[in-house]
Amino acid sequence: MAASGDGVFDVDKNANFDVSIMLFGSLAMGMTIVHMLNASDPDIKKVSWEIINKSVCTLIGVLISTSWSNALQWATGATSTMAIFLVNLGAFVVWYFLMHMALANVDEFRNREDLATYKNKLHFVAPLVSIIGGCSCMKTWASVQILVVENVAKSDLGWGKHRQILCAVAVTFFMIGFMKSVRVTMRYARDKVAKYDDYCDAFEEAWMTECSNCEDNVDTMAEAFMIVQCCRFALTDHLPTAAGLNPPSVVVNMELIRAVFCLSTLFISLFMLANFLDDTSRWHSGKRLKKRVKFVLKNCTGFCWLYSGTWLAAHYVGTRVIGSCIQAAGTTIWCFLVIWVIDFFKDMECTDATFDKQLQSLYQPIALLIGFSWKLAFAGSLKQITQEFQVFPEPVETLIVTILLCAVMIPGWQLYILPVLFPVPVATAKVAPSALDQNVAELNKALLAPP
Residue 436 above 50 pLDDT?
no
pLDDT in tens, 310-326: 888 887 777 677 778 88
Q: What is the mean pLDDT of residues 282-306?
A: 80
- Contact at 8 Å (CB) between 219 and 289? no
pLDDT in tens, 245-264: 888 888 888 999 999 999 99
CA-based nearest residue to 184, from 212, 210, 214, 153: 212
Residue 193, domain member (yes or no): yes
Residue 2, domain member (yes or no): no
**Which residue range is the domain that position 352 belongs to?**
15-448
Q: Report residue 431's pLDDT band, with 50, 70 and 90 as the boundaries.
A: very low
Mean confidence (pLDDT) of the chain: 80
Q: Report residue 108's pLDDT band, with 50, 70 and 90 as the boundaries.
A: low
DSSP state of 114: -
Alpha carbons within 13 angstroms on the beta-carbon side of residue 404 total: 8
- Biggest CA-to-CA distance, the chain: 76
Crossing angle of helices 321-346 and 42-76, in 10° steps, is: 150
pLDDT given for residue 273 in this prediction: 83
Alpha carbons within 13 angstroms on the beta-carbon side of residue 232 total: 28
Helix (H) or strand (E) holding 123, with range, is: helix 115-154
Residue 284 above 80 pLDDT?
no
CA-based nearest residue to 315, from 365, 244, 246, 251: 251
pLDDT given for residue 109 in this prediction: 60
Q: Report residue 78's pLDDT band, with 50, 70 and 90 as the boundaries.
A: confident
Higher-scoring residue by pLDDT: 396, 361:
396
Q: For 144-148, 186-190, 429-433, which range has the lowest pLDDT when averaged over its residues?
A: 429-433
Residue 228, domain member (yes or no): yes
B/e letters for 250-274, b = 16+ CB within 10 Å, e = fewer, are: bebeeebbebbbebbeebbeebbeb
Q: Report residue 428's pLDDT band, with 50, 70 and 90 as the boundaries.
A: very low
Residue 5, domain member (yes or no): no
Q: For 117-131, 204-218, 224-238, 281-295, which range has the lowest pLDDT when averaged over its residues?
A: 281-295
Residue 8, domain member (yes or no): no
pLDDT in tens, 6-43: 444 444 456 677 777 778 888 888 888 888 888 888 88
- Contact at 8 Å (CB) between 73 and 84? yes
Residue 359 above 60 pLDDT?
yes
Number of domains the chain is built from = 1
Q: Report residue 4's pLDDT band, with 50, 70 and 90 as the boundaries.
A: very low
Residue 352, domain member (yes or no): yes
- Contact at 8 Å (CB) between 59 and 107? no
Share of the chain above pLDDT 90, in %: 11
Higher-scoring residue by pLDDT: 298, 447:
298
Residue 72 above 80 pLDDT?
yes
Q: Report residue 204's pLDDT band, with 50, 70 and 90 as the boundaries.
A: confident
Q: Report residue 169's pLDDT band, with 50, 70 and 90 as the boundaries.
A: very high
Share of the chain above pLDDT 70, in %: 83
Residue 256, domain member (yes or no): yes
pLDDT in tens, 332-351: 888 888 888 888 888 777 77
pLDDT given for residue 260 in this prediction: 93
Higher-scoring residue by pLDDT: 442, 95:
95
- Radius of gyration over every alpha carbon of the chain, rounded to an integer in angstroms: 23
Residue 265 above 70 pLDDT?
yes
Residue 10, domain member (yes or no): no
Q: Report residue 112's pLDDT band, with 50, 70 and 90 as the boundaries.
A: low
Q: What is the mean pLDDT of residues 43-61?
A: 87
